[in-house]
Structure 1
Amino acid sequence: MATTTRLGLPLLKAGQAQKEIWHNEALALIDLAVQATVTAVGLDEPPAVPVPGACWIVGSNPTGAWRGQARALAGWTEGGWRFVTPREGMAAWHQGTRSIVRYAEGQWRAAAAVVPAAGGATVDAEARATLAGLIAGLRELGLIA
């Protein structure tokens, strides 16, 4: 079967029978990968009762139905499990932490945590207020944890 280079989506062939099957499979995979939203990151065992449309990032040592799909996006659909192999730079919204996770150098990485300034001998209230506002805004956007 011929597939696309980046996401491995199935391609149709001229004169191919039952094209709707391959077309629907490609749409199901696109639905998982584009603007991905995940329930959890790094799970090795599939949930017992997944809900259609829910998506997870598989851990490093998957078991059961996820065996062989380390670090993939795993989505439960009406037709069962579907997987998308991550590509460098791919991002997903992690519902649990309300932040972005990004795939880089073979790993899913959470947004960096930023600790607000505290203490110190010299206090500049305006600078601290500005930094606190900036940090809050970045957290609101999910760019940092």
Structure 2
Amino acid sequence: MVMDATFRWALPKLFAGQAQKELFHNEALTRIDMLLHGAAASADESAPPAAPAIGDCWIVAAGASGDWAGREGMVACWTEGGWRFVTPRAGLSLWVVDRGYAMRHEGAGWADAPVREDGLYVAGDRIVGGRGPGIADPSGGATVDGEARSAIGAILHALRTHGLIYA
């Protein structure tokens, strides 16, 4: 069975004797351009912008309307020929400009990237945050127990500040 498009991204294939091959070739290049090191302006818009620039892309949010109606979760890109849409596949990752981090398609939907500028997230919870100040070595004191408590308290405070443990 001969397919007329590639398996993963539905890039149109060329065939011997095919008329207007440049249309199929240009469509494939447009889709590649949308996805290769891709970036989306936002993943929170459900309506197309009024004046998009050629090459601008979005991840279509729920409740899509207008030219995006019925395209929720798809990648929408404004081209010289109008809107082009690509159905994402598991593993597709796009930088989302207004969020300042990437989103990754998990097969059933989009998820925020675990690594962001402000820390490492697991299941939406920040696990590791920015680096805090170092802990000074314990010194002085006449009572060992009080010194030990102070040192342990400083360690716990630092671990909490770094987001490694919770209070």
Length-normalised TM-score, structure 2:
0.68
Long gaps (5+) in structure 2 = 115-120, 133-151
Identity between Structure 1 and Structure 2 (%)? 40
Long gaps (5+) in structure 1 = 133-145
Residues 1:31 and 2:33 are matched in the alignment: yes
Check whether the contact 1:45–1:63 (CA below 8 A) recurs between aligned residues. yes
Check whether the contact 2:59–2:73 (CA below 8 A) recurs between aligned residues. yes
Counterpart of 1:139 in structure 2 is none
Check whether the contact 2:42–2:99 (CA below 8 A) recurs between aligned residues. no
Q: CA deviation at 1:111?
A: 2.2
Check whether the contact 1:42–1:71 (CA below 8 A) recurs between aligned residues. no
Identify which of 129, 135, 154 aligns with 1:123: 154
Check whether the contact 2:89–2:107 (CA below 8 A) recurs between aligned residues. no
Counterpart of 1:2 in structure 2 is 4
C-alpha offsets along residues 66-114 of structure 1, whole Å, 9 cap, x if unaligned? 1222211100111111111100111000111221100014111112442
Q: Which amino acid aligns with 1:69?
A: R
Counterpart of 1:138 in structure 2 is none
Secondary structure of the corresponding residue to residue 153 of structure 2 = coil
Secondary structure of the corresponding residue to residue 123 of structure 1 = helix
Residues 1:109 and 2:140 are matched in the alignment: no
Aligned ranges 1:1-145 → 2 under 5 Å: 2-112=4-114, 113=121, 114=126, 116=129, 122-124=153-155
Q: CA deviation at 1:61?
A: 2.5
Q: Which moved further from structure 2: 85-94 or 34-43?
A: 34-43
| 2-structure distance, mates of 1:105, 1:22 | 27
Q: Which amino acid aligns with 1:92?
A: L
Length-normalised TM-score, structure 1:
0.78
Determine which structure has more spread, i.e. the larger CA radius of gyration: 2
| 2-structure distance, mates of 1:16, 1:61 | 39
Q: CA deviation at 1:34?
A: 1.4
RMSD between aligned residues: 2.4
| 2-structure distance, mates of 1:93, 1:123 | 38
Q: Which amino acid aligns with 2:154?
A: V
Q: How many pairs does the alignment contain?
A: 127
| 2-structure distance, mates of 1:34, 1:67 | 25
Counterpart of 1:135 in structure 2 is none
Which structure 1 residue ranges, 4+ long, deviate > 6 Å from structure 2? none
